[in-house]
Amino acid sequence: MQISPTPTHCPYCALQCGMNLTPAPDGTVEVSERADFPVNRGALCGKGRTAPAVLSSRVRLTSPLVRSEGALVPATWDEALDRIAGGLRRTRTEHGPDAVGVFGGGGLTNEKAYTLGKFARVVLGTSQIDYNGRFCMSSAAAAGMKAFGLDRGLPFPLEDIPRTGCVILVGSNLAETMPPSLRFFNELKENGGTLIVIDPRRTKTAEQADLHLAPRPGTDLALALGLLHLVVAEGRVDEAYVQERTAGWEDARAAAMAHWPEYVERITGVSVPQLRETVRLFCEPENAMVLTARGPEQQSKGTDTVGAWINLCLATGRAGRPLSGYGCLTGQGNGQGGREHGQKADQLPGYRKLDDPAARRHVAEVWGVDPDSLPGPGRSAYELLDALGTDIKSLLLMGSNPVVSAPRAAHIEERVKSLDFLAVCDVVLSETAALADVVLPVTQWAEETGTTTSLEGRVLLRRRAITAPEGVRSDLDVLHELADRLGVEKGFPTDPEEVFEELRRASAGGPADYSGITYRRLAEENGVFWPCPAGPPDGEDTSLDAPGDDGSAARDIPADAHPGTPRLFLDRFATPDGRARFVPVSHRASAEEPDEEYPVLLTTGRVVAQYQSGAQTRRVDELNAAAPGPFVELHPRLAARLGAAEGDPVAVVSRRGRAVAPARITTSIRPDTVFMPFHWPGEGRVNTLTNPALDPTSRMPEFKACAVRLETVTS
């Protein structure tokens, strides 16, 4: 019998590439091209192509594990769930609800993120919930909220990129992090547009650029201010746009005018002629875009840094217009949806604020609880992890591996070990799961149905393609069973569509309104862009396209249904008066600058064959062969000073610890900077070194710049 392929999406990054999955007779799963999904048109990177290997990995967990006499041993589901419920209940009774923490992940589906937030607030009554997406794009989210009144990664579809005139890509190595997206930038260049890449390293993405600027890590804010200074000095401000569509220009202008190009050159290392050329290339076309990623965002001044790039867009009239705008390239598979539906410390579903009385009333009514029973905002991700073992005694963790991915990771590992009780849901025994008292084996992407929201704000349906192995249950099952054991028998369905129906009601009327989206629409339309309220759009439709994201008309959808919103802000921004806000910002140093003792800058990032903490991709032979371990990328001059040759083990030492990895010597990095990827645990774990200095608004740690010294290692 011929088995028809199931159209679905990749489990990894925020591009959420479409793919077809077909179960093979030998129990494996075949990936095939899914050309109807317009974002990747069938193309996949190596991670997506090999994703099924994790489904049948020999290290896949298929039985709950409980700690007994120091070791994790197999247990029944009832035993394991009882242990978790008992551990959480005991902490709550002895220390109060806020002594129980919950930590989620940007890879969880919308249904899971929503249910996890509800579980924390309704069942546990704790305010202490956050997720690893805080480490991913929260500075861009905070800057977007300040400037536009709304945070959606991209306010336009990727398909707009080839038709604009110039793109400045700030701190994104998308040729490695999301390779299929590179075609949009190649098409931009084929159409005569210009690509400017800003990155301290000459990455594979920078190699594609018409102009590459390599600022010192941690100086993107000064760079953006210097560009805005030149925009003003050269008379390139779009005065009519500033007058009509923005507020706060004079203060932002004054701040930028204090950043002379020569001053900015001294801070960033980018020459004045390069600054002038950037301004020319950005301002001459009719349309242009700025896209940021982790480079400018993972800084202790990330919100201001992104704000400075938004100011540049606003001053030149490049926001809220067709084919122009600012966008953030979100990282994790559901980084966007994960922050919209309640697993973030300060949020309720629909991107509502937890401290907004009207939002609390609305969501409490959907949940059938008293609004006053909902706790207030809790700690951000790093602060929550830092409080483990002190204020927070027990932790329930889903879809995250902070022992590898959190900054100052050796300290966080100690905090995790000092917990009274740790329960982890995962598909493999990650480095964090290995420390748990109870580990629950859960289903993976291809074994369950659910929705994600891509970096475009496109809500997508991931369909179940195969049956999960025996012994494995979904995260929704886990939360249902735990709620039941903790005395809440209703309100935690295990059917993802039932959860989504509730999520629709909870999000209705909120900034991220999903109420007009149904599973049926998602299946038929190949995704729907939020906001998509139930019913037809009010007044003029701001979505330019037909509902089908490939340009085709939707099938079987009521004619008066809201079509979703591919493009935001074309008529007005989401602020009370409809105007975007300039935010005056000034350059400041990173939390830790090089000095005599630690004279070199360390920056971190990803490689094409691994994903995040590597919990899944390190289990795939093909990916391990391509990227077997960490390395220290350094310039030949720095290597010569150190006396290190290619492949020599190099110790990188910061105020927080020491990591060792082989030298990779290349002229593609600045001589004052070293780079390490963050996918590995153990001796080469770069997050042992990184600085947890937090942005004051987004509470995002400074992964991208800290001071280190290098040492040779003798064996």
Contact set with ligand SF4 (CB under 6 A): 10, 12-13, 15-17, 40, 44-45, 47-48, 178-180
Q: Using an 8 Å Cβ cutoff, are 85 and 485 in contact?
A: yes
594: alpha, beta or left? (left if phi > 0; alpha if psi -120 to 50): beta
Smallest gap, in angstroms, from Cβ of residue 444 to ligand SF4? 14
- β-pairing verdict for 421-426 and 438-441: parallel
Query: Looking at beta carbons only, is 15 or 136 nearer to ligand SF4?
Result: 15
Smallest gap, in angstroms, from Cβ of residue 174 to ligand SF4? 9
Query: Looking at beta carbons only, is 50 or 698 nearer to ligand SF4?
Result: 50
Look at residues 447, 465, 461, 333 and name the one whose alpha carbon lies nearest to residue 21: 465
Query: Looking at beta carbons only, is 16 or 115 nearer to ligand SF4?
Result: 16
Segments of 531-610 assigned E as strands: 580-581, 600-605
Return the DSSP state at 711. E
Query: Looking at beta carbons only, is 10 or 409 nearer to ligand SF4?
Result: 10
Smallest gap, in angstroms, from Cβ of residue 49 to ligand SF4? 7
Query: Looking at beta carbons only, is 179 or 218 nearer to ligand SF4?
Result: 179
Query: Looking at beta carbons only, is 67 or 183 nearer to ligand SF4?
Result: 183
Smallest gap, in angstroms, from Cβ of residue 358 to ligand SF4? 37
Structure tokens that stand for 270 in this block: 């980018």
Smallest gap, in angstroms, from Cβ of residue 338 to ligand SF4? 15
Query: Looking at beta carbons only, is 47 or 393 nearer to ligand SF4?
Result: 47
Distance CA 523, CA 711 (A): 55
Residue 598: how many other CB atoms lie within 10 Å: 18
Residue 553: how many other CB atoms lie within 10 Å: 9
Residue 277: how many other CB atoms lie within 10 Å: 15
Q: Using an 8 Å Cβ cutoff, are 347 and 356 in contact?
A: no
Smallest gap, in angstroms, from Cβ of residue 43 to ligand SF4? 8
Q: For ligand SF4, which residue has the nearest CB?
A: 48
Question: CA torsion angle for 575, 289, 305, 311 (degrees, to 10)?
Answer: -50
612: alpha, beta or left? (left if phi > 0; alpha if psi -120 to 50): left
Return the DSSP state at 468. P
Query: Looking at beta carbons only, is 12 or 421 nearer to ligand SF4?
Result: 12
DSSP string, 7-53: EEE-SSBTT--EEEEEE-TTS-EEEE--TT-TTTTT---HHHHHTHH
Smallest gap, in angstroms, from Cβ of residue 51 to ligand SF4? 7
Smallest gap, in angstroms, from Cβ of residue 558 to ligand SF4? 31
Distance CA 556, CA 386 (A): 51
Distance CA 557, CA 545 (A): 15
Query: Looking at beta carbons only, is 174 or 211 nearer to ligand SF4?
Result: 174
* SS3 of residue 392 by DSSP: strand
Residue 271: how many other CB atoms lie within 10 Å: 14
Query: Looking at beta carbons only, is 44 or 663 nearer to ligand SF4?
Result: 44
Smallest gap, in angstroms, from Cβ of residue 10 to ligand SF4? 3
Smallest gap, in angstroms, from Cβ of residue 157 to ligand SF4? 16
Interhelix angle 272-283/261-268, rounded to 10 degrees, is: 110
